[in-house]
Structure 1
Amino acid sequence: MAKQYLSGGGNPFGVTPAPSVFNPNPPDDLISRQGEPAIWIRAIPKIGEVDETKMAIPGSESQLYRIERYRRMPTETLNPIFYDGNIVQTKYGPISKIRSLKVFRNDDFGGNFNLSIESFEHNRIKLKPNIEFQEYYQLDCDYDIESFTKFENVPFIQEEDGYLLHPVQEDIIVIVDSVWRERLDKSGYDEIGFKYDFTKISCETVAEAGRRYLLNYVTFSPIKIGYKTIDTKDARLAEKMIDVQSGDIDIVVGSGLNISKDDILIPLRTLRTEKEILEKDKKGRYPVKYSPLREIVAVYTDSIEYEDFWIEDSRYVRINSSTLPERIVCVYQYNPRYSIMPDTTASALAERIQPRKYIGRINQTRLDLGRIFRESIYRSVATE
């Protein structure tokens, strides 16, 4: 899933398996609208012990993990409703690269041709003038988007009394650099302490609704997937030549995603609950076995039940106490992770590449997802 700028123009006659003027690629559109958001982590074979690329931390002895900074979208037929002179708009953004902008025209009128681009920003593309282009021609755009979006000094107004800020809807928060709150006399802003997780920023002090803030943070746009669990009645379990186990999942992703073996997918709306004894690390944190950690339900010792606790870096439990016990019992919820198996299915229909099908298996590798996000955002990119 990318940031969606445009809506509307959908098919009022329902989803069909064949493209139409209302819906040029129905399966991709269905996944985009109704699929579950998920984090896609690319697994890369480790080159050797001396590796200075610093793409991400090792998840095991043989793998490095990174998150793609740029993601190719399925080829989109642009909607002429949103044309404005020489400005056209894609449904998703922010655009990082345009691979092609192709006009389809009857051979009797000269055949297909490509448009030249003057500039692009967010989801808007400014075309170079071309007298051959007419708005009623079919215009297909093959483009990439940015997975991460950085916001600097973005104004935000607190919606409810309290200490919680919700600056995102569909994307997830991966880094918060600073939070500035307007003074009561409106003479300026003061930097305040905060904590954050995927969906919210928690200020250290409460404020009333309507209070103004300046936020500096980075968000990530998840992909969309469809999936279902393979149960014990699945006929593939009896096939000796097929590596399928009960509890694996069938996964369907959009046609533009080049997912490969050993990559990890994390569905973000699926939650599982775990009870675990956690040990304190050198920084006073309590790392959990299963991550990303989404919610802390309860924290106990043999004699104390803690009420002031929070999540750090999607992997650690923090508690507010003058003395920190060496071990705690924590009940928490997390998103399950699945590794992609080699088996995959590709297909095409009506001259369109269709969504791809994979098998996913539960993955329990200990991953520092917060660090993977940071190093995926800030790693060096080779240039000529």
Structure 2
Amino acid sequence: MRKSGLGGNTPFSITTKPNVLTPLTNEEMIDRRGESAIWYRLTPCPCPQEERMPDCKFCFEGLVRTFQEELEVTEEMAYRVEGNKVYTRYAPISEIVSATLISRETFKPLTIKRIHEEFFEVGEDLKYWNSVLLKYKVKMEETLTVEGFGENEYVLFPKLPLGAITGVEEVFHIPEDREPEEVEFSGFTFNSVVFPKRTNGLFRLKLKFQHPVKIAYKTFRVDSDARKIFDRSQITFQEGELMAVIGGGYKLGEGDLLTLLVSTLRHSEYIRYQTGNLDILSYSPIANIDRIFSKGKQGLVAHQRDEDFILYGDSKIKWITDKPRNGYSVIYDYHPTFRISGFIEGGSGEDRDKPKIFKMKPISNLNIRGIPGE
């Protein structure tokens, strides 16, 4: 789901109380004040235990990551009307549940003729000042075709909107003097695709892309004594909880995961030497690796990205050259991930799907079994 229209914008400061100058919904305030996040579920794989493989492409160590496919938008006024075309604020449209023409004393249902990504056509001829009340569904996942240019590197960063890559359908190399040829990829992160060999030239990628949801959050403390905030015995960020709110229409459940896409935290750790060229870091998904260094005979040795190592997936380091035998230290930034631990308020009073208020607890890395029962 992406925003395609400009409806609901106002030059006035948004307050927490609705008034004549800011007739905005709760969802609109969350959209402006909240942070973008990727929301997904982890469901046990249906394969029998004895048939599961550690390198299965369809699950994550026995867990399948799934997303909500559609979001229903209700009580929205069309922000733009042109003849028989009615434009919505969100796209791509998957279904129009109802479209009602509102006049002084009448409510007239409109006849839907054709649905496009950002607008739909009706059988009636409308004027630009007509008010149309909408109820429709939009897709939360899209298939995008994008391009990326490689310069002797293992990772491509195609230009993408804010969100996350959830799958790679195909990748083609586009040479200047011959036909395009399909190439093999080895993995992907939120915003990049990883290849087993160095890439050069233009590449065209067909990706499954998940648009983010907006959540607003604040710290949640059980202890009401503010004087103990600076006490060393208090809980740390990775042990505490946050209270958050999300708009209506999202079918949240306890145990669902939310990864913030803008906020990052920095962490440093020592990685012991292990056989193999892959190492798993403690926190993920990784946003950026600041530096890696090890101890050499003449002092500290700095290792360069794309020359000595690459970021493989969203939580691993893959070594291209020989790995340091004595281990190494790494400094990196990662996007915080939270698990929903309970709901504070999630009803549907007045027969409306209202925003849900919930608690969420940080988890470090799914690779170190951050899922209950594992």
Is TM-score (shorter-chain normalized) higher than 0.5?
A: yes
1:289 is the counterpart of 2:282 = yes
Equivalent position of 1:338 in the other structure = 338
Q: Do the aligned partners of residues 263 and 202 (structure 1) sit closer, same or farther apart at CA in structure 2, a change above 3 Å counting?
A: closer
Letter in 2 for 1:297: D
| 1:360 CA drift (Å) | 1.0
SS of 2:287's equivalent in the other structure is strand
1:147 is the counterpart of 2:145 = no
Equivalent position of 2:232 in the other structure = none
Q: Do the aligned partners of residues 99 and 327 (structure 1) sit closer, same or farther apart at CA in structure 2, a change above 3 Å counting?
A: farther
Letter in 2 for 1:225: I
Kept in 2: contact 1:147–1:221 (CA 8 A) = yes
**Aligned to 2:165, which of 173, 194, 204?**
173
Kept in 2: contact 1:38–1:224 (CA 8 A) = yes
1:198 is the counterpart of 2:193 = no
Unaligned 5+ residue runs, structure 1? 239-244, 370-384
Name the structure, 1 or 2, with higher relative contact order (CA <8 Å, separation 6+): 1
Deviations 1:187-207 (A, max 9, x none): 655667877532345783566
1:228 is the counterpart of 2:218 = yes
Q: Do the aligned partners of residues 80 and 226 (structure 1) sit closer, same or farther apart at CA in structure 2, a change above 3 Å counting?
A: closer
1:22-33 equivalences under 5 Å are: 25-33=24-32
* More strand, by proportion: 2
Question: Partners in 2 of 1:49 and 1:289 — Cα distance?
Answer: 29
Equivalent position of 1:329 in the other structure = 329
Question: Partners in 1 of 2:92 and 2:276 — Cα distance?
Answer: 37
Question: Partners in 2 of 1:197 and 1:157 — Cα distance?
Answer: 15
Q: Do the aligned partners of residues 19 and 218 (structure 1) sit closer, same or farther apart at CA in structure 2, a change above 3 Å counting?
A: farther
Letter in 1 for 2:265: R
Q: Do the aligned partners of residues 181 and 51 (structure 1) sit closer, same or farther apart at CA in structure 2, a change above 3 Å counting?
A: closer
Q: Do the aligned partners of residues 262 and 51 (structure 1) sit closer, same or farther apart at CA in structure 2, a change above 3 Å counting?
A: farther
RMSD: 4.2
Question: Partners in 2 of 1:12 and 1:352 — Cα distance?
Answer: 28
Kept in 2: contact 1:56–1:66 (CA 8 A) = yes
Deviations 1:25-77 (A, max 9, x none): 4321122234211111225578896799x984467xxxx55332413144252
Q: Do the aligned partners of residues 235 and 267 (structure 1) sit closer, same or farther apart at CA in structure 2, a change above 3 Å counting?
A: farther
Equivalent position of 2:38 in the other structure = 39
Unaligned 5+ residue runs, structure 2? 229-234, 370-374
Q: TM (normalized to structure 2)?
A: 0.73
| 1:362 CA drift (Å) | 1.5
Kept in 2: contact 1:343–1:358 (CA 8 A) = yes
Question: Partners in 2 of 1:162 and 1:19 — Cα distance?
Answer: 57
1:90 is the counterpart of 2:88 = yes
Deviations 1:129-175 (A, max 9, x none): 147x66545323333332322234x4x476x9896644113233344
SS of 2:32's equivalent in the other structure is helix
Kept in 2: contact 1:3–1:94 (CA 8 A) = yes
Kept in 1: contact 2:43–2:66 (CA 8 A) = no
SS of 2:366's equivalent in the other structure is coil
Equivalent position of 1:305 in the other structure = 302
SS of 1:122's equivalent in the other structure is coil
SS of 1:331's equivalent in the other structure is strand
Question: Partners in 1 of 2:119 and 2:368 — Cα distance?
Answer: 36
1:44-63 equivalences under 5 Å are: 44=43, 56-57=59-60
Q: How many residue pairs end up in the alignment?
A: 342
| 1:301 CA drift (Å) | 3.7
Once structures 1 and 2 are overlaid, which stretch shifts more, 279-288 or 32-41?
Answer: 279-288
